[in-house]
Every structure is written in structure tokens, then in C-alpha cells.
Structure 1
Amino acid sequence: MATQRSENPTELKEEKIAIIGSGQIGGSWALLFASAGYQVALYDIIPDHVTRTLELLLDQLHTQSRDGLLRGTLAVEEQFGRIRGMQDLGECVTGAVWVQECVPEDLELKKQVLKEVDQHSSLDTIIVSSTSSILPSDLSRHLKHKDKFLVVHPTNPPSCSRVVELVPAPWTAAETLTRAQSLMKAIGQSPITLKKEIPGFILNRMQFAIMAESYRLVKGGFLSPDGVNKTLSAGLGRRYAFLGPFQTAHLNAEGFGSYCERYADTILRVQQSFGAPQQMGGALAEHIQEEMAKEVPLDKLGEARRRREAKMAALAKFKEDLDAVKL
């Protein structure tokens, strides 16, 4: 059996974390906080969803333990024991220092849930949303504790992806941001803090730019869907797993200034050929769906997600091991 990597013992904490919504994102957040020793209260409007999620989380913990990929030093039983299913939202939120809203991506639904969360929150409770694109100002302008609100958007899945986006509303207090940064670091995440809100934040603006060009390339007959996937997974993705675009450019020339001198005209010329944004759908979307389903049928999505998470967790561990030694 693989063993956990050596690290400082994880301290069991008294602070309570409330998670509203027990889907894939909510479940991943529960694992993250539990692995760092926090007490986690998990609520869903459909109680059976919580029960099912707890079963999946226990299975995931056993898999991580088998593969030596558990986060923190707590054993499976200790981590799982930190998570409790709740049947009442008010009871879930009361006494929590942090509330992570993870309901479906619907503005009115999120506003309704956050309003109820706000009613049960104390003056010290930080309220956050896992939304991937809704502006924090649109979610929180009606809250009485809106200075304690921000978006904390994870990379999916959060339990094996370190980066989280911290997106403040115009009225988010500086202290709230500081506390959010500290807590994310305490659970092993790498927070990036936006200076102000913007539609789609950072992760999705970059992701959607890649998706748009990928779609155009297939639509224009330049490459197959599989070819686009390989370009990223076996090409750019391997580089970007270690270096960002500015670092890459810096190394590919004699510094970033030299890179601009050499390639700025070429980059502009290619960018000007991209064209306007296009709505995805119709026959082309059906074709891409058919091609993707050949590799992963719809009834195998759950298995494929688990394989993805195991590979991402292994990559994260590999990167940490690399960073610990000087090559």
C-alpha cells in the first residue's frame, strides 16, 4: 500500500465550516476542509443527496489512501468523521465561521439561498459562493452582511486542484479578503485574489477563450475534436502544468521583452484572424458530442471523473515532490 507523504501533523480544529449544496463541488469542498481538520456541516435541500455524497466521499477517501494521495495526515476514518450531514439549513449555518454556497448556477436560486444563509450568520461569518461566473455584486447587494461576502471559485475538482479565485464585490471588506486568503492557504489551496470583479473571473475567461478557438478550428475543418484535445493535453497542457504564459514566453526568448520584440507582430496577426465569438450548438455540437462519447460514453462519466481526479491528485503530488528538491 502506498504511504502518505510526510508533513506536519494535521490539527483537529473546533471551527465549523458549513457547505450548502452536496453536489460534486460541495462534496469536494467538504473533503478539503475535513482533510485540514475542520468540522464540516453538509446540507442539501434533498436529504438523499447528502447521504449519497457521503458514501461517495468515503469511497474517494479510501481510494486516495490506497494510492498515497490523502491530503493532510488524518486517516480516512478521522477525515470522514469530521463531515456531518445536516437536514436543516439554519442548523447547518449557525455557529459556522465560513459558509460555502454550492447550489446550481442560477442567479435567483443562489440569491434566495444566500439570503437565508445571511439570516443565520453571525457578524464574524464569512459567506462565499462557488459560482463560476456570476458577479459577486449581483449575488450580495441584498445581504445585510454583504461586507463579509465574496466569491471563492475553485478549479474543478477542488479536492485535487489547488488554485481558487477570490473575487470581491465592491463592498467586500479588506479584512474579509485577508481572512479568506488565510483560510484557503490553511487548507492547502493557492488563492489568487482579483483586484475587482469581472464577468467569468480569470479561470473561465481563459478557459472560454481556449474553448472558442477550439470550436472554431473544428468548425473550419482544420482539425478533429480529438486532435484539439491532444494539442492541449499532450502539448500546451504539459507546459502550462508548470509554467504560466508569461513565464513560458520569458523562457522562450531572452526575457519577456525580447519575446515581444520577436513575436508581437506575429501574435497580433494570428489574433486578428480569430473572428467574432460564436454560439456553440447545432449539428457541430452533436458531432463533437458523438466523438467524445466514443471515448467516454455517457453512462461512464462517473468512472471517467474518478480517473481524472486520481490523475490530477497524482500530478499535484508529483509537482510538490519536484518543488521540494532542486533539480
Structure 2
Amino acid sequence: MSRVACIGAGTVGRAWAVVFARAGYDVGLFDAIEGEVERTAIPGARRTLELLAENGLLTEDVDTVVARIKSASSIAEAVTGAIFVQESVREDVAVKREVFTEIAAHAPAEAILASSTSAIPGSEFLTGFPHPERALVVHPVNPPSLIPLVELCGTGVTSPETIAAARQLMTDAGMRPIVLKKEIDGFILNRLQFTLVAEALHLVGEGYCTPEDIDAVLTDGLALRWASIGPFEVAHLNAPDGLQGFVDRLGPMMRQLGAAARTDYNWTPEQIASAHAELSQRVPLDTIAERQAWRDRQILALRQMKLREQNV
């Protein structure tokens, strides 16, 4: 059985361990906090696998998959013999450089070295060790154990062979990889997500609507289309003559609204506090874990529906 290493056992790291163990890999899981893997990560991975099993998305029994995840006492132990290493430590360039220096010193020379960074370009920390052509960003959506999209982005020195191999490994592990043609801060998903959130803060902050209204626009509006088709295909289907006709007719309005949007909106602490208070009434802080579990069930129900559509 091939071996994969996961460095960092927080929410993202343990979710990656589930992805790889479910795909049949032995997983060496390491965290800098002593005892974290046994205390929280493996029990958390078990709960995720039980949820996947309940929703028909696990082909083996939970114990078999959990048994593939082993705690490692050091980075060196975790990466020994690994064909792929996924780093998921905190978003700090200095910390990531230090971690990858150690990973590169102990991992096999042919191992692919990947980072889960959600915003930092890989060229800032993935080139200061031998054979940097084997390193790239593999940015997931949290949690990758439930959401398959993953963004692959080279550093400028990453070899085409490394990107192709990482793409194949991700596909074989049940993920849905996209490949960025060049680096950009935040990659694709976060640039789209944070742009929408910034305009939402502008609309709420200037009194056009409430946070609850914004969420309704997404959940009962845009998301019902976006769950199956993206914005390009939405536009293509919204006109009898496709995307070209849509833009020919609505292009001026698109440009006008885009120019009026405030993605650089300077929200105030008071506005955030007000939005937080409204959200806390809808979802009290002591129910967040329960609501997260509900969210995860909703994600899996949607994935089941999409899988049924693909198999028709």
C-alpha cells in the first residue's frame, strides 16, 4: 500500500487524512502539538468517516479506513517512504518555510510536496530546498473530506510532470482538481468567495439589506443554480443565443454594476458587531457545532444528488 504524509492535524489536516485513507493510502499524520493526533484528529476522522458511511459514500467499513491513519512522532517519521506529502500548518510564511525545509530533508526525492495554503503564493515558501520542481500548492475547500474541489498551482519552477502527477493522484482519491495556469494571491476560489463577501458587507453596511437577506439571496437564489452549473453556463443558458447573446444585451449593465460594486468596502467594527449579533440570534454560539454537523449533512445530501445525476 502506498504511503502519504499529512503534516498538521487541525481541521484541514485531519480531513486530508480521511481523503487519503478512504482512497486506500496508509497515512502518516503529524502535528506539532504533542498528543493532538490521538486526542482529537483520529477521533475526528472517525466521525467524518461514520458520516460518509451513513450517506453511502464509503465503500469499506469505518474501522478499516481509520486503521490506515497512524500518528507520527515527527515530520521525519511521517514523510519516510511517502509518495505524497500534504502540509496543512498555519498561514505563516516563516512557519511554512521551516516545515518544508524539514519535509524536504526527510521525504523521498521523488515524493510530491504539496501545501494547503489558502492565500499565500507557493513561490514564497516552496522553492528554498533541493528539487523545488516537485513542490506545488494543492489548495482544498474546507473540509476536503466532504467537498471535492481542489486547486493545483505551481510556483514557477514546479515541473509539468509534478502537476500532472498531483492531478492524477487527486482524481484517483476522489477529488475534483483544477489547475491554475499561473500564480495569483488567494487562487481562484477565495478570490471569488471574498469578492462576494466584500460586496455583501457593503450592501449590509450601507443599509440596503440585512445579513439574513444576503444569505437568502444565495441559498434560495444563486446557489440553486450554482450547485449544478457555474456563472459562465448560467449566462449561457439565460439567453437563447448563449453567452454571446447574453453579453451583447446585458454587457453594459454588467459593467455598470461591476464598477459600482465595493469590493474594497471599508467596513467598520460596529458594522461587523451588528452583523455578528444578528447571526448569533439565528445561530447561537453554543449551537455552532450542531449547525456545522447539519451543514455537513446538507453537503453530503447534495453530493449524493449530483452523483445520481452523473450516473443517469
**Structure 2 CA distance for partners of 1:216 and 1:171, relative to 1, 3 Å:** same
Contact 1:103 1:110 in 2 (8 A): yes
| RMSD, aligned CA | 1.2
Indicate which of 120, 126, 129 corresponds to 1:140: 126
AA aligned opposite 1:145: H
Q: Which sits farther off after the overlay, 296-305 or 25-34?
A: 296-305
CA deviation string 1:197-223 (max 9, x = no partner)? 011100001001101110000011001
CA–CA distance in structure 2, aligned partners of residues 91 and 279 of structure 1: 47
CA deviation string 1:29-67 (max 9, x = no partner)? 111111111111110011322121111211222233233
CA–CA distance in structure 2, aligned partners of residues 44 and 133 of structure 1: 21
Deviation at 1:302, TM superposition (A): 2.3
**Structure 2 CA distance for partners of 1:296 and 1:45, relative to 1, 3 Å:** same
| Structure 1 residues not aligned, in runs of 5+ | 1-13
CA–CA distance in structure 1, aligned partners of residues 95 and 134 of structure 2: 20
Task: List structure 1 runs of 4+ shifted beyond 6 angstroms.
Answer: none
Contact 2:152 2:180 in 1 (8 A): yes
CA–CA distance in structure 1, aligned partners of residues 47 and 62 of structure 2: 10
Deviation at 1:296, TM superposition (A): 2.1
Indicate which of 294, 297, 301 corresponds to 2:284: 297
AA aligned opposite 1:309: D
Deviation at 1:285, TM superposition (A): 0.8
| Structure 2 residues not aligned, in runs of 5+ | none
3-state secondary structure, aligned to 1:271 = helix
1:104-143 aligned at under 5 Å gives the runs 104-143=90-129
Contact 2:84 2:113 in 1 (8 A): yes
The question of 1:41 aligning with 2:28 is answered yes
CA deviation string 1:2-37 (max 9, x = no partner)? xxxxxxxxxxxx111000011110111111111111
CA–CA distance in structure 2, aligned partners of residues 256 and 67 of structure 1: 37
Contact 1:167 1:194 in 2 (8 A): yes
Matched residue, 2:190: 204
Count of residues in Structure 1 that have an aligned counterpart in Structure 2: 310
The alignment's TM-score, normalised by the length of structure 2, stands at 0.96
1:251-270 aligned at under 5 Å gives the runs 251-253=237-239, 254-270=241-257
Contact 2:134 2:162 in 1 (8 A): yes
CA–CA distance in structure 2, aligned partners of residues 48 and 212 of structure 1: 39
Deviation at 1:69, TM superposition (A): 3.3
AA aligned opposite 1:94: T
Q: Which sits farther off after the overlay, 129-138 or 49-58?
A: 49-58
Indicate which of 4, 9, 12 corresponds to 1:25: 12
CA–CA distance in structure 2, aligned partners of residues 161 and 174 of structure 1: 26
Give me the identity figure in percent: 37
The alignment's TM-score, normalised by the length of structure 1, stands at 0.92
Deviation at 1:304, TM superposition (A): 2.0
**Structure 2 CA distance for partners of 1:106 and 1:216, relative to 1, 3 Å:** same
